[in-house]
Structure 1
Amino acid sequence: MRTVSGPDHTIDLNEQIQCYEICANDFACNLIAVALERRICLIVVGLPEESGEFLWHHLQDLELGDRDGRFVSAITFSPDTSLNSTPNNVTFCAALGTDMKIFRTDVDQYNTFDTLKGHTDYVNDISWVCEGEFLASVSDDFTCRFWSTAAEAENVITFCLSSAGMSIKSHPDDNEKVLVAEKRGIIHLYNVRQNQTVLSVESPKFPLMSADWAQSNRLFVSALAGGDVITWDLNRPFVPADVKQIHEDGGRVVRFSAGSSEAILASIGRPGVTLKVFGAKSTVPLLVAGLKTYAGLAWHQRLPYISAASDRKLLFWKVQMK
């Protein structure tokens, strides 16, 4: 086990971080959106494997406007985001209380945003689905909603839940399917085009706080519920394939690694605010680190780096994968 006292690399933004996300697109995989008190900061990182040393630079700030005490709870990049095009094309959505804002920018002079309204309680997670044709959201108002983002953004599908929606993730291979996870422990596999649930599984524990697809095997889904990481094989969905306690006093978030050929999971939970990284088939952590605060967790799309936001800093650890 690699227990660390500090990260391999740090970005200090001098303001407390509310939320952040790393872009998963091939042409912008080093782009990061960081939500601060009044603005979203776009930065680009260069990792040692790419540039010989750790570098980062500030691209742009986008103002959040009047927040009325609301905080940014989730950020997601559109699949067409690219820093290799001319001009640059950066599109992302930020969940802000009950609303969502879609920002579009060329990281220079052109900036626009649209506001999506319809949820009646806090939005917990958002995701682009169907190759960016729709934006999906889940909320404390017991709904999952799909929004058309073409000419005029509007709520086109509403999927009612039996509890608060905590996670929504687009399928790694089949862009018509999404994972919708509820706080009471139910995870739905939902087909957007057919407007119906294809499959549901139920966690033996709750509250469920987070769920994710395995990038290396689309048939595996994991959730963090009551401090346990619970994994299902969707070929045999009626009983979990694996249940293991990771956080003694409950967890906040779980994420599968993006670039690894094996299933590596990262999670944050209690006691304190503790980051753990481990193989899906192992109970021995690859990495354990303490954080000051919780404000997000994300893997780099291509390189074996896990990141977390803690107070005013973005922290990066290189994970030694087998």
Structure 2
Amino acid sequence: MPSHQDARVVARLDLPQPAHVVEFCPHPQAEDLIAWGGDTIVGVIRKTQTADGSQTTFTLVEEHLVGARATAISWSPSTTFSSESQIIRLVVGCDNGKIFLIDQGRVLLVGSHLDTINDLSFSFTEKHTLASVSEDQTLCIWTLPDNLHHHEHGSFQPTCATSRLSSPGVAVRSHPDRSNLFMVAEKSGIVRFYDFRQDETVWSVLLRDDGPGPAILRDADWSIEKSLLRFGAVIGSKWYIWDFPHLEPIRAGHGHEEGAHQFRWARNKNGETVFATATSAPSADTAASIKVHNIDHQLPVHVGDTSSKARVTSISWHRSANLLASANRSRLLCHSIQSGSS
């Protein structure tokens, strides 16, 4: 069996509410910021290290009341956090269908779906473009106004272009080298690359699970490795990897017997081979709620507080370090991932 020695918890932070989503900032100018969303609160935290690098800590930066359960978070590419400039800008999707922009201490309503927001994604390069998917079976492309700091609540009026999906959307992702595309994944197993400038799907595939019973796609992610178009997904208890334009997976493997609910590619130099999966329903005999896989290795690294079978609600990779954040009830954990995943 895989050992736990390759993954260790390096930082913990108790939160005022159960965390439903966590997200490291993927942009280099603010990569040590992490946002978490609870029942009614969204918080921003900074990861810091001692001068010798021996200790990692979490420091609260700000908290905001949004009044609904957070279900998705995406960071704006305009976000910066340094001694010269501090701009904190992110969007939060909620279970009531509303999307809020948190911008320089303000909470502004972007707009609404008719049902729970399942995922959000800012474009990496088009800083005013945002995509959202929902249980209401729609994909929305939002265009935020320029000069956001000049807009107050009454004058903040984003525009929205809506596309109908065949089933609830579960994931939407952008890519730093594909500025016109979003990857959109649906619960039915359809994954498409959508060109928002041309308002058309340029490629799609129907993912099928070979296990018993109905297959439901729970999550998908797009590798940010620039040399290829690679994406992965979790369906049932298994994970699958595809390379565009192949219609059949190049790799497949076992994730979680109870069913996996999250798939996240590493964001650092390992981003085309290393990914994490998580289950939100660990059983009594489950070794770990989070596993880190390397498609070049056979056995995954088990991650988490193995003394507890607490439900993991969300995971997120640091942009450049081998660090994986997880939300575990009302606790935020930061795991250092070593050897077996590198």
Is 1:212 the equivalent of 2:214?
no
1:174-219 per-position Cα deviation (integer Å, ceiling 9, x unaligned): 1111100000000001111111001001111220011011223541
1:238-267 per-position Cα deviation (integer Å, ceiling 9, x unaligned): 211122121112111000000123510101
Q: 1:246 to 1:73 in 2, by over 3 A?
A: same
Residue aligned with 1:7, SS: strand
1:136-175 equivalent positions in 2, closer than 5 A: 136-151=131-146, 152-175=156-179
Is 1:187 the equivalent of 2:191?
yes
Q: 1:201 to 1:318 in 2, by over 3 A?
A: same
Compute the displacement of 1:87 (Å): 4.6
1:304-319 equivalent positions in 2, closer than 5 A: 304-319=322-337
Deviates more, 1:180-189 or 1:24-33: 24-33
- Among residues 57, 60, 63, which one is paired with 1:61 in the alignment? 63
Contact 2:266 2:275 in 1 (8 A): yes
Contact 1:165 1:181 in 2 (8 A): yes
State the identity as a percent: 25
Q: 1:14 to 1:114 in 2, by over 3 A?
A: closer
- Compute the TM-score of the two structures, normalised by the length of structure 2: 0.85
Which residue pairs with 2:298 in the alignment?
A: 283
- Compute the TM-score of the two structures, normalised by the length of structure 1: 0.90
- Among residues 298, 313, 318, which one is paired with 2:316 in the alignment? 298
Residue aligned with 1:17, SS: coil
Q: Which runs of 5+ in 1 are unaligned?
A: 106-110
Which residue pairs with 1:108 in the alignment?
A: none
Is 1:103 the equivalent of 2:85?
no
1:216-295 equivalent positions in 2, closer than 5 A: 216=225, 217-235=227-245, 237-261=246-270, 262-269=272-279, 270-272=281-283, 274-289=289-304, 290=306, 291-295=309-313
- Among residues 91, 94, 97, which one is paired with 2:92 in the alignment? 94
Deviates more, 1:283-292 or 1:195-204: 283-292
What is the one-letter code of the residue matched to 1:220?
Answer: R
In 2, distance between residues paired with 1:172 and 1:280?
Answer: 23
Contact 1:227 1:245 in 2 (8 A): yes
What is the one-letter code of the residue matched to 1:311?
Answer: R
Deviates more, 1:247-256 or 1:277-286: 277-286
**Number of matched residues?**
312
In 1, distance between residues paired with 2:335 and 2:107?
Answer: 33
Contact 1:24 1:301 in 2 (8 A): yes
What is the one-letter code of the residue matched to 1:263?
Answer: T
Is 1:131 the equivalent of 2:149?
no
Q: 1:153 to 1:293 in 2, by over 3 A?
A: farther
Which residue pairs with 2:152 in the alignment?
A: none
Residue aligned with 1:27, SS: helix
* CA-atom RMSD in angstroms: 2.1
Compute the displacement of 1:85 (Å): 6.6
Q: 1:263 to 1:172 in 2, by over 3 A?
A: farther
Compute the displacement of 1:3 (Å): 2.1
Larger relative contact order (C-alpha < 8 A, sep ≥ 6)?
2
